Amino acid sequence: MTDPIEIQDDEQFETFELRPTPEDRNVRLDRFIATRIDHVSRTWIQRLIESGQVTVDGYERSQTFKMTPGQVVLVNIPPIEDDELEAENIPLDVVHEEPDLAVINKPAGMVVHPAPGHRSGTLVNALLYRYPDIAMSGTNRPGIVHRLDRETSGLIVVARTDRGRLALLAQWADRSVVKEYLAIVTGVPAESPFRIDVPIGRDPKQRNKMAALATGKTARSTVDLVEDIKQISLLAVTIETGRTHQIRVHLAHAGFPIVGDRVYNRKTGRYGGEGSIAERQMLHAFRLAFDSPSGEHLDLSVPLPGDMDAVLAMARSEAPRD
């Protein structure tokens, strides 16, 4: 399965371009879209198909239409409005909070913000409940200044006020925020630390994923070996830039794809991508360091979640002894 490419983001619609692979042959149109755009429910997808917001090779089709490799599916998703956002009493692991901001330890599987057909259970829904006075700032994503993929766990900072939002955005813009991740990967680097300075852009052959491209945008990562477990290793990755899927693309390009990454890890077996023992990509945002609007310098970290600890423990038990 591959991620969709978002090819448009205007005031009216988000448009996604999806391309079936051989594994999608004869899969229903509604089911196919649901596997590619996981923040939109299948019921909502069926409504989009019925209302003419989905085309296959330029033609409207029914939800039961069967997929064939080589087709191009366009999905137009209208934005949700501010007044459609709902507060939900969802427990949050709050690592730090102050009047202008909060830092949350996001669990894997939690979507950051709502989308049509997927308006509940997100971080934004939980934020609206815990901080009912959070600044909307003219957006349907209150508090969000940066994002984590749904399957990535770890630290995310949210703005509670306009002052907090502006202070955080300024630091993201000047790249002064320290963002460090832990990743479980296949293979073991021969040297540590090492730097990856490889531009990233949309893959010209598979427009539904990112790739290391000379014509892409500047992307820099520094990688340190934390633990060598023979078949796999635990790496610490600090990113200077924040490109889409940067760590996943960079590590795969360097020959160390992330365990459980079903898009960028093409290796097979227990510690590969599709069909591995990991139910999600083994990537965790474990450290954030930045300046609070109050003038305090914050340097926060959280331990690995249980599923990543379990994969490491299993690998250690299977590793050959010297």
Name the residue type at position 190. A
Average pLDDT over residues 221-230: 95
| 256 closest CA partner among 220, 282, 217 | 282
Angstrom distance (rounded) from CA 155 to CA 103: 7
The hierarchical CATH code for the domain 5-77 is: 3.10.290.10
Can you name the residues that pair with 238 across neighbouring β-strands?
180, 222
Token pair recorded at residue 106: 């996001």
Q: What is the pTM of this model?
A: 0.75
Task: Kindly report the average pLDDT of the chain as a whole number.
Answer: 86
d(C-alpha 136, C-alpha 132), whole Å? 10
pLDDT greater at residue 16 or residue 96: 96
Q: Tell me the CATH number of domain 82-173, given options 3.30.2350.10, 3.40.50.720, 2.40.128.50, 3.40.50.620.
A: 3.30.2350.10
Lowest mean pLDDT among 154-168, 183-197, 266-280, 300-314: 266-280
Decide if 261 is catalytic. Answer: no
The helix (run of H) or strand (run of E) holding residue 245 is: none
- What is the CATH topology of the domain spanning 178-318? Pseudouridine synthase (3.30.2350)
pLDDT of the residue at 80 = 58
Annotated catalytic residue, options 30, 100, 149, 261: 149
Q: Do the domains at 82-173 and 178-318 have one common CATH topology?
A: yes
Q: Are strands 220-229 and 232-239 parallel, antiparallel or unpaired?
A: antiparallel
Cis peptide before 257 (omega within 30 of 0): no
Q: What's residue 205's pLDDT?
A: 64
Long-range contacts of 259-267 (CB under 8 A, 24+ apart): 259/184, 259/185, 259/186, 259/232, 259/311, 260/184, 260/311, 262/1, 263/1, 263/2, 263/3, 263/209, 264/209, 265/186, 267/186
Domain chopping of the chain, boundaries: 5-77, 82-173, 178-318
Q: Could you tell me which of 289, 235, 237 has the C-alpha nearest to residue 103?
A: 289
Confidence band for 203, pLDDT divided at 50, 70 and 90: confident
